[in-house]
């Protein structure tokens, strides 16, 4: 007896099912024409299976077949092994014979019965699949194979109950039947898993053999699992009702499934597991109760049925119940014989039912039987099928549905709100926007544009919004008012003089005169430097002096230019030369050395001027040059709007010169002078070229703030110099190298530190010294905004360059306070950014927020933190400038940057949108932009020095930044545009495209490969950090290492 014959039994009908299925799917089995082919295929397959079964039985009788045939492994996972093995013992063969015979007979019957029915082909496919499944079920040598047949048979049953797809009742019944079957399947699965867990195998032979070794409880649980499966499959009480509903399918299927074959699968399972069940008396007892109850249920309910198919099905239920009962009493063999006889007899009854129906047409329904007629209560109960289904509905189905309903509400109202992370961005801002729209009377038009967000704010969102609102109040009531009143009063002594300057600036010639005087002095200094060059480490050509002189020369040349073209040509040439020089500097720079390079020094009366760069300052020079170039490119592309272009270009170049001067100064006084020199052209640019009528007020604000900052700075520098003089005996000096040799006594360090830090904090726009920045950003020109952003970073630079080396012990002492201030400022700026209704103001608060993070990073006072902050400063110079440039480009096109006037720009200006997105991602430190490595290092520094809480807080700044920046992006570029505003928006023009492309290329290029830059700054920064750590080691204050 070859093994392949055994494999043929399930394989033939499976192949037939697959083939018919494929022909249906690809439209090759349509209607009557192909009926013959389909039915033949199914018949041949069934017949083949049946013949193979007969041969197998013959071989079995001749005793040439073992009990179990294995075809190899199927599924392996460690010790869990499922083989493809088939049982050929008496039990399997008996059922196999019944199954294959039944399917052969029914297939033949259905050929005529379903002739010209819509689902003819579908029926034969399901029938063949079912035959295959049943043969696997009864032959499967292990629980998994049996389960596969078990479940696929259930699927076939589902498909046949819902065979007439248009009938809603059929569809409902099918679903119900399948779900109840699935309850049994869950039991089966649990049985499989437990069998593997306890017995180590899922083979039926092992399970039965091992059953004796199980404890009573284990055997009871295992038997209970399989009993549940059998009860569901064989429609026993309490899972019986699905069977009556299954009569919706075509008659042949009813006969096959519920009369002959599938209904008996449960009995088969129990017979198969006879040794297991014998181990558990409880399981046997339950089985007896269930069997008996079902027999009664089937009998009584059957009596009330008026339809032949229903009567038959209840009879079947009852009979199968008796089989369960027989098993439970230990009459296993009886149950098997009973099963086979019942199957064939019942099959015949079902198949003849349609003919009987036809014959009986018009005959009176049969009367109620005597048993029930006299007992109305029992009759009612039987008629209602003992309310089993209603009970199940009430106990399980409806509560589950209600629970589902509750959970849906829970999901939207609780979970979505509680985890409503995005809501701060969306809601806090949209409420501001709505308020603003309301104020401006635009509310009705924009009130609820389709696509507007109408989500409930989350709990986090609500909290964020409240905090933001509170901060907003503080900002409006205290900061801005005190900035314009209180602070002004406080600084009035100083303010008097500055007011005069401000008035001067109204008359541009006067201010320009002053400006020229200062710059002329500087130019003179530079000229002298070129002569008195002392090339300690310099490389011949005085690059730093050249860097200073070139913009000054360009400025003087451009100042007189009348024509915009000339002015910008001069300006751009200068900027390009400057960038070239800066690049030269960078290339000649030796990254490994930590000391000053390209040093040039000389004496002029009262000032020992000293120029040099090291790793800390080197990268700022090309950045400044690059951004100046951006500014000029930006303004050039709409030069027709500029009045007096020559002066504009000259001011920008003057700013550049001043910034370069600050970055190269190694003498504190010299630094201070350059800082003063910087604010004059800046104020001029704000006052003269600002974008709103309030620009003069903005310039005034700017001057007052900077003035106070510079005063504090000067006081601090003075104290340092005085201290030096006190130590060296009246020898005044402000040179960094000299001051380093004479550290200030600890008693004075704190005072000096506070003075210097405050002075720089104003420059940095660090909370609470930031109030000038939003005003300047809102009213000043975009160009100034950009230059300032480099300027803002001057603050970080100066902290690193002067404050930390000169005042190390004070730095350690104030470290915690400064970090707290920085982080507070970061949160403050971020939350306020959420409340802004103007893009440029939003960006200003973003810068304030980032300044906070920068300062916190610097004051982690370890190499990682210092490196990170320095890189971050450079990155933010790029990214924030990019943001301002985009804001400027939008302003230039639409004349506004207020959110309620913007929307949907991505459709008309996709390139602009992409540029904005790249810089947004850069400023929120996405990997692939320079911010990533920088933020990574800064966080690492903070984590190292201050542990979890602080680092987490710092990182949350990035999350908030992502919130408001992406919100702004969405609002401007993606949201539906306001309908009343016509937006003839053009995309980037050529010059703008060059500028934007350059910006993005630099960001992504540096971001993906930041290593050279880190190497460049590495030496100097590590040196600084070591110096700090040395102080901490011997100092009075323990380093904050945790």
Partner 1 sequence: MIPEPAAAPFNLPILSLLIILPLAWALLLPFLRETRTVRIVALAGAVLELALSLLTAAALRPEVAGMQFVEQTAWMPSLNVHYLLGVDGISALFPPLTALLFCAVILASWTSIQFMPRLYFALLLALEGVTMGVFCALDLVLFFLFWELTLIPIYFLISLWGIGPERRYAATKYTLFMLAGGVPLLFGMILLGLHHASAAGLNFDYRVLLEHPLPAPWQTPVFLLLFFGFAVKAPLFPFHTWLPTVLREGPVGLSALLVGLKLGVFGILRFALPLAPAAAREFFWLMTVLGLIGLIYGALVALRQSNLRKMLAFSSISHVGLVIAGLAAMNLQGVQGAVFQLANFSIVAGGLMLMAGFLHHRLGSTDLASLGGLARPLPRFTALFLLLGMASIGLPGTNGFIAELLMLLGILQAAPGVAAFALLGVILGAAYFLGFFQRAFLGPVTQPAIASAMDLRPRELLIASIMGLLAVTGGLFPGLVQNVTASAANAWVMQMTVNQDH
| Cβ(897)–Cβ(839) below 8 Å | yes
Residues 6 or more apart from 532 whose CB is under 8 A from it? Answer: 601, 602, 603
For position 927 contacting partner 1 by CB under 8 A, the verdict is yes
Contact range with partner 1 by CB under 8 A, out of 185-193, 305-313, 337-345, 631-639: 185-193
Residue with tokens 């009366």: 605
Element (H, E) at 583: helix 564-588
| 194 vs 831, beta carbon nearer partner 1 | 194
Contact range with partner 1 by CB under 8 A, out of 307-315, 499-507, 849-857, 936-944: 936-944
| Cβ(899)–Cβ(645) below 8 Å | no
Site for partner 1 in 331-390 (CB under 8 A): none
CB of 517 to partner 1, least distance (A): 46
CB of 172 to partner 1, least distance (A): 6
CB of 570 to partner 1, least distance (A): 37
| 5 vs 911, beta carbon nearer partner 1 | 911
**Distance (Å, rounded) from C-alpha 849 to C-alpha 929?**
19
Residue with tokens 């009343």: 980
For position 418 contacting partner 1 by CB under 8 A, the verdict is yes
Q: Please provide the DSSP assignment of 975-1022 as one string.
A: SPPPTT---------HHHHHHHHHHHHHHHHHHHT-HHHHHHHHHHHH
Among 282, 289, 726, 926, binds partner 1 (CB under 8 A): 926
For position 977 contacting partner 1 by CB under 8 A, the verdict is no
Contact range with partner 1 by CB under 8 A, out of 173-181, 234-242, 646-654, 709-717: 173-181
Among 175, 484, 737, 748, binds partner 1 (CB under 8 A): 175
Structure tokens at 199: 């017995």
Among 83, 185, 203, 437, binds partner 1 (CB under 8 A): 185
**Distance (Å, rounded) from C-alpha 684 to C-alpha 505?**
6
Structure tokens at 679: 């604010």
| 398 vs 1036, beta carbon nearer partner 1 | 398
CB of 826 to partner 1, least distance (A): 14
Structure tokens at 622: 């090309």
Among 15, 51, 171, 381, binds partner 1 (CB under 8 A): 171
**Distance (Å, rounded) from C-alpha 240 to C-alpha 238?**
6
Among 3, 36, 67, 80, binds partner 1 (CB under 8 A): 80
Q: How many helices (H) and strands (E) does the chain have?
A: 48, 4
For position 1010 contacting partner 1 by CB under 8 A, the verdict is yes
For position 34 contacting partner 1 by CB under 8 A, the verdict is no
For position 152 contacting partner 1 by CB under 8 A, the verdict is yes
CB of 131 to partner 1, least distance (A): 14
Among 128, 162, 234, 597, binds partner 1 (CB under 8 A): 162
Among 89, 117, 278, 416, binds partner 1 (CB under 8 A): 416
Phi-psi domain of 735 (left: phi exceeds 0; alpha: psi -120 through 50; beta: other): beta
| Cβ(235)–Cβ(177) below 8 Å | no
CB of 132 to partner 1, least distance (A): 10
For position 415 contacting partner 1 by CB under 8 A, the verdict is yes
Contact range with partner 1 by CB under 8 A, out of 86-94, 602-610, 770-778, 927-935: 927-935
**Distance (Å, rounded) from C-alpha 801 to C-alpha 1027?**
12
CB of 247 to partner 1, least distance (A): 17
**Distance (Å, rounded) from C-alpha 127 to C-alpha 109?**
12
CB of 875 to partner 1, least distance (A): 14
**Distance (Å, rounded) from C-alpha 988 to C-alpha 984?**
13
For position 421 contacting partner 1 by CB under 8 A, the verdict is yes
User: In 10 A of CB 360, how many CB atoms?
Assistant: 12
Contact range with partner 1 by CB under 8 A, out of 105-113, 246-254, 776-784, 959-967: 959-967
Site for partner 1 in 436-465 (CB under 8 A): 450-451, 453, 455
DSSP alpha helices (H): ranges in 62-142?
90-113, 120-139
| 213 vs 928, beta carbon nearer partner 1 | 928
Backbone φ and ψ of 611, nearest 5°: -115, 145
For position 481 contacting partner 1 by CB under 8 A, the verdict is no
| 197 vs 991, beta carbon nearer partner 1 | 197
For position 7 contacting partner 1 by CB under 8 A, the verdict is no
For position 174 contacting partner 1 by CB under 8 A, the verdict is yes
| Cβ(991)–Cβ(566) below 8 Å | no
Contact range with partner 1 by CB under 8 A, out of 342-350, 668-676, 740-748, 1011-1019: 1011-1019
Among 11, 65, 104, 426, binds partner 1 (CB under 8 A): 426
Backbone φ and ψ of 425, nearest 5°: -60, -45
* Cβ neighbourhood burial of 584 (10 Å; 0-12, 13-18, 19+): middle
Phi-psi domain of 947 (left: phi exceeds 0; alpha: psi -120 through 50; beta: other): left
Contact range with partner 1 by CB under 8 A, out of 313-321, 395-403, 676-684, 766-774: 395-403
Site for partner 1 in 529-568 (CB under 8 A): none
C-alpha atoms less than 13 angstroms from C-alpha of 456 in its C-beta half-sphere: 12
């Amino acid at each position: 007896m070859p093994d392949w014959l055994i494999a043929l039994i399930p394989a033939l009908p499976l192949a037939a099912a697959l083939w018919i299925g494929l022909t249906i799917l690809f439209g090759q089995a349509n209607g009557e024409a192909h009926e013959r082919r389909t039915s033949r295929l199914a018949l041949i397959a069934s017949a083949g299976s049946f013949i193979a079964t007969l041969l197998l039985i013959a071989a079995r009788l001749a005793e040439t077949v073992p009990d179990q045939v294995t075809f190899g492994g199927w599924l392996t996972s460690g010790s869990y092994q499922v083989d493809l093995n088939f049982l050929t013992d008496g039990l399997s063969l008996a059922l196999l014979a019944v199954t294959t015979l039944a399917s052969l007979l029914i297939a033949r019957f259905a050929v005529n019965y379903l002739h010209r029915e819509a689902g003819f082909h579908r029926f034969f496919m399901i029938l063949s699949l079912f035959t295959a499944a049943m043969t696997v079920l009864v032959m499967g040598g292990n629980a998994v194979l049996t389960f596969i047949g078990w479940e696929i048979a259930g699927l076939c049953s589902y498909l046949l109950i819902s065979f007439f797809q248009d009938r809603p009742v059929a569809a409902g019944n099918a679903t119900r039947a399948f779900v109840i079957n699935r309850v049994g399947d869950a039991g089966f699965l649990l049985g499989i898993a437990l069998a593997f867990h306890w017995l180590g195998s899922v083979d039926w032979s092992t399970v039965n053999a091992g059953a004796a070794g199980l404890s009573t409880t284990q055997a009871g649980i295992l038997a209970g699992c399989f009993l549940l499966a059998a009860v569901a499959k064989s429609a026993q009480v309490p899972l019986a009702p699905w069977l009556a509903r299954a009569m919706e399918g075509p008659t042949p299927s009813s006969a096959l499934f519920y009369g002959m074959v599938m209904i008996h699968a449960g009995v088969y399972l129990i017979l198969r597991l006879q040794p297991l069940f014998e181990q558990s008396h409880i399981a046997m007892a339950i089985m007896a109760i269930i069997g008996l109850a079902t027999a009664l249920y089937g009998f009584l309910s059957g009596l009330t049925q008026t339809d032949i198919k229903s009567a038959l099905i209840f009879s079947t239920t009852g009979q199968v119940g008796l089989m369960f009962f027989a098993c439970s009493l230990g009459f296993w063999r009886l149950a098997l014989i009973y099963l086979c006889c019942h199957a064939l007899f019942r099959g015949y009854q079902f198949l003849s039912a349609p003919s009987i129906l036809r014959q009986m047409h018009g005959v009176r329904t049969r009367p109620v039987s005597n048993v029930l007629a006299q007992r109305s209560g029992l009759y009612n109960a039987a008629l209602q099928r003992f309310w089993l289904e209603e009970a199940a509905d009430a106990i399980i189905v409806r509560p589950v549905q209600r629970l589902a309903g509750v959970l849906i509400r829970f999901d939207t109202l609780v979970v979505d709100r509680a985890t409503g992370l995005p809501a701060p961005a969306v809601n806090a801002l949209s409420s501001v926007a709505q308020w603003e729209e309301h104020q401006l009377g635009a509310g009705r038009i924009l009130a609820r544009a389709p696509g507007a967000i109408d989500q409930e704010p989350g709990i986090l969102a609500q909290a964020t919004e409240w905090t933001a609102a509170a901060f907003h109040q503080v900002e409006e009531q205290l900061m801005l008012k005190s900035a314009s009143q209180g602070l002004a009063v406080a600084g009035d002594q100083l303010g008097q003089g500055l007011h005069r300057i401000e008035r001067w600036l109204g008359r541009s010639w006067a201010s320009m005169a002053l400006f020229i005087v200062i710059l002329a002095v500087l130019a003179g200094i530079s000229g002298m430097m070129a002569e008195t060059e002392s090339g300690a480490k310099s490389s011949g050509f005085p690059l730093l002096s050249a860097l200073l002189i070139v913009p000054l020369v360009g400025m003087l040349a451009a100042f007189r230019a009348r024509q915009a073209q000339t002015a910008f040509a001069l300006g751009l040439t200068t900027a390009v030369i400057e960038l070239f020089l800066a690049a030269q500097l960078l290339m000649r720079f030796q990254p490994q050395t930590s000391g000053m390079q390209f040093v040039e020094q000389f004496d002029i009366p009262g000032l020992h001027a000293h120029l040099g760069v090291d790793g800390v300052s080197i990268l700022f020079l090309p950045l400044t040059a690059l951004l100046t170039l951006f500014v000029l490119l930006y303004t050039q592309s709409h030069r027709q709007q500029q009045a007096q272009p020559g002066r504009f270009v000259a001011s920008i170049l003057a700013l550049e010169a001043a910034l370069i001067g600050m970055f190269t100064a190694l003498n504190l006084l010299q630094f201070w002078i350059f800082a003063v020199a910087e604010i004059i052209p800046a104020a001029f640019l704000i006052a003269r070229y600002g974008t709103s009528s309030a620009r003069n007020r903005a310039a005034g604000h700017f001057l007052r703030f900077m003035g106070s900052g510079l005063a504090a700075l000067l006081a601090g520098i003075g104290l340092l110099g005085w201290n030096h003089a006190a130590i060296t005996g009246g020898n005044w000096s402000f040179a960094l190298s000299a001051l380093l040799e004479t550290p200030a006594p600890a008693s004075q360090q704190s005072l000096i530190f506070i003075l210097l830090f405050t002075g720089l904090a104003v420059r940095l726009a660090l909370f609470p010294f930031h109030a000038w920045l939003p005003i300047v950003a809102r009213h000043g020109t975009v160009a100034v905004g950009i230059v300032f952003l480099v300027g803002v970073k001057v603050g970080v630079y100066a902290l690193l360059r002067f404050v930390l080396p000169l005042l190390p012990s004070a730095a350690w002492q104030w470290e915690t306070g400064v970090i707290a201030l920085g982080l507070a400022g970061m949160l403050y700026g971020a939350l306020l950014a959420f409340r802004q209704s103007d893009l440029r103001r939003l960006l200003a608060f973003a810068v304030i927020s980032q300044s906070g993070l920068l300062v916190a990073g610097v004051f982690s006072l370890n190499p990682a933190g210092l490196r990170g902050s320095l890189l971050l400063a450079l990155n933010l110079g790029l990214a924030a400038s990019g943001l301002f440039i985009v804001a400027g480009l939008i302003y230039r096109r639409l004349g506004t940057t207020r959110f309620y006037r913007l929307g949907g720009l991505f459709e008309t200006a996709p390139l602009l949108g992409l540029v904005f997105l790249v810089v947004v991602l850069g400023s929120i430190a996405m990997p692939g932009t320079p911010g990533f490595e920088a933020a990574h290092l800064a966080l690492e520094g903070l984590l190292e020095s201050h542990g979890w809480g602080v680092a987490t807080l710092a990182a949350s700044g990035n999350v908030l930044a992502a919130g408001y920046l992406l919100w702004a992006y969405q609002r401007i570029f993606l949201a539906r545009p306001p309908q009343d505003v016509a937006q003839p928006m053009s995309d980037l023009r050529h010059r703008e495209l060059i500028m934007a492309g350059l910006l993005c290329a630099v960001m992504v290029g540096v971001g993906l490969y930041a290593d050279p830059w880190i190497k460049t700054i590495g030496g100097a920064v590590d040196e600084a950090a070591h110096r700090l750590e040395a102080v901490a080691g011997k100092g009075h204050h323990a380093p904050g290492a945790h």
